[in-house]
Structure 1
Amino acid sequence: MRIRVLGCSGGIGGSLRTTSLLVDDDVLIDAGTGVGDLALENLAKIDHIFVSHSHLDHVCSIPFLVDSVCWMRGSPIVVYGIAETLDILRTHLFNWKLWPDFTQIPDGDHPFMIYREIKPGETVDLNGRRITAIPANHTVPAVGYFVDSGRASLVYSGDTAPHDALWDVVNGAKNLKYLIIETAFSNKEKDIAIASKHMYPSLLASELEKMRAKPEVFITHLKPGEGALTMKEVNEHAGRWRPRMLENNQEFLL
């Protein structure tokens, strides 16, 4: 299983892209602005999109993706998410006002897109690639994802504040090779981080102390203009874990 980072920033500007991970050629985990860098023929190969939560920086490419490639495909794109997330997409995005409802185009029996509800703890098996929704703690209902090839595994936290249930998954994961965890703000913005349920470096360090596993740790969702400062503080507070900044086009093999 190959995982490629299409976007990992908390904003846009220049080369920055918001969150999306491409699993092999046919699966997205979140669908931020980085999806738009794929060629049209690569976009048409995407069959499954796993959404962590409904915020725009994680879902904004879904409407454009479906609209761009629907005529090139013979089957609908499947959008996975917890019930609350799917309800938000139905009500506020694919609602004929902000964007057409592609679950009804061309018609309800032959749609270009379908929703599939998953629950925290539930695993979707895609030809031996196991993707499990895991607990997260954010301002809207949210999950992260545990991705397991059978040989190695990766945990992607999604957007989350401290949540012991997340560490239960991390510590129980077999063959855990990588942890991708958010730290959106620097320590000087801790009040904003707390209000918006994001991590900041000193908080991340205290959370990592709950981890018994020893994966490689990568930091995602850094806010534009503060990446260098935030990573400096991450390494000051969590240096023994040797966290590294996640980068666009970085690849992980599981």
Structure 2
Amino acid sequence: MWVSILGCSGGIGPGNRTTSILIDDDILLDAGSGVGDLQLQQMCKVKHIFISHSHLDHIAFLPFLVDSIFSQIEEPIQVYGLPETIDALKKHVFNWVIWPDFSELPNKDRPVMAFNVIQPNQSIKIKKRTIQAVAVDHVVPGLGYIVTNEAGRTFAFSGDTATNDSLWEALNNLPSLDTLMIESGFPNSHEALGKLAKHYTPNTLAKDLCKLKHKPHLLISHLKPGMEIMISEQLHKVLNGYQLTCIKSGDSINID
């Protein structure tokens, strides 16, 4: 199972792309600005897009992706999300004012995109992989996702979240966990802001990791631009018992 980090930053700037993760070549977790670095041929292979929540940095390039390959789509691209997320996409993005509604184009009977509601703890089987949705705690309703292949190798993605129990309970129910991509958006000095915006800091993440029975490779995402070094140093100090990587756009991981 190949995991390609198209985007993982908490902001924009040279080399920074917002959240989007490509699983193998056909599944996207979120559709932030990292999608824009895909070649057209790569975009055409994407068949399933799992959205964690409705914030712009996680959905911004979904409209451009579908528009760019519109004429080459033979079967609808399947977009999954919580009811609140799907509702936000319909009302505020694909509403014929901000962007055309591709769930009705070229016509309602044969659209190029289809919306699918997914609930926490629900699993979707795609070829030889299973994608499980997990509730997390963010300022809007959000999900994390657990991807498991036929060999039992497992990659988990937290989405945006702060302290919670649901994510850790779901991860502890797994027989094993190889890799966990989890956010730490602010340094410890911004803990009050982290609580308000519902993002982890190194200290709050370290406390929650005590709930986890597995020892996965940690991929840290969503670091705010300009604060990356500070956050990284704090993470390595409080999580020195873990294999830990502060990832960047363009990284790839083979979960084998």
Query: Where do residues 208-247 of structure 1 align in structure 2 (5 Å cutoff)?
Result: 208-247=209-248
Whole-angstrom distance in 2 between the partners of 1:208 and 1:140:
23
1:116 and 2:116 aligned? yes
Query: Where do residues 62-211 of structure 1 align in structure 2 (5 Å cutoff)?
Result: 62-151=62-151, 152-211=153-212
Q: Deviations over 1:111-139 (max 9, x none)?
A: 11110111111111011111110111000
User: Which letter does structure 2 place at the counterpart of 1:200?
Assistant: T
User: Which letter does structure 1 place at the counterpart of 2:160?
Assistant: D
Whole-angstrom distance in 2 between the partners of 1:81 and 1:8:
19
Runs of at least 5 residues in structure 1 that lack an aligned partner in the other structure:
none
More displaced, 129-138 or 243-252?
243-252
Whole-angstrom distance in 2 between the partners of 1:176 and 1:202:
22
Runs of at least 5 residues in structure 2 that lack an aligned partner in the other structure:
none
Whole-angstrom distance in 1 between the partners of 2:177 and 2:241:
18
The answer (yes or no) to whether the contact 2:176–2:214 under 8 Å persists in 1 is no
Secondary structure at 2:239's aligned position in 1? helix
Which ranges of 4 or more aligned residues in structure 1 deviate by more than 4 Å?
A: none
- Post-superposition offset of 1:174: 2.2
Whole-angstrom distance in 2 between the partners of 1:180 and 1:153:
11
User: Which letter does structure 1 place at the counterpart of 2:108?
Assistant: G
Q: Which residue is equivalent to 1:29?
A: 29
- Post-superposition offset of 1:253: 2.5
Residue-pair matches, total: 254
With normalisation by structure 1, the TM-score equals: 0.97
The answer (yes or no) to whether the contact 1:121–1:134 under 8 Å persists in 2 is yes
Q: Which residue is equivalent to 1:3?
A: 3
Q: Which residue is equivalent to 1:16?
A: 16
Secondary structure at 2:103's aligned position in 1? helix
Q: Percent identity?
A: 42
Whole-angstrom distance in 2 between the partners of 1:215 and 1:150:
19
With normalisation by structure 2, the TM-score equals: 0.97
- Post-superposition offset of 1:155: 1.0
Q: Deviations over 1:166-202 (max 9, x none)?
A: 1111111123100111000011111111101000111
Superposed CA RMSD in Å reads 1.0
Whole-angstrom distance in 2 between the partners of 1:240 and 1:162:
20
Q: Deviations over 1:191-234 (max 9, x none)?
A: 11110100011111111111111111111000001011001111
User: Which letter does structure 2 place at the counterpart of 1:49?
Assistant: I
Whole-angstrom distance in 1 between the partners of 2:196 and 2:26:
35
User: Which letter does structure 1 place at the counterpart of 2:14?
Assistant: G
Whole-angstrom distance in 1 between the partners of 2:187 and 2:18:
18
User: Which letter does structure 1 place at the counterpart of 2:140?
Assistant: V
More displaced, 240-249 or 213-222?
240-249
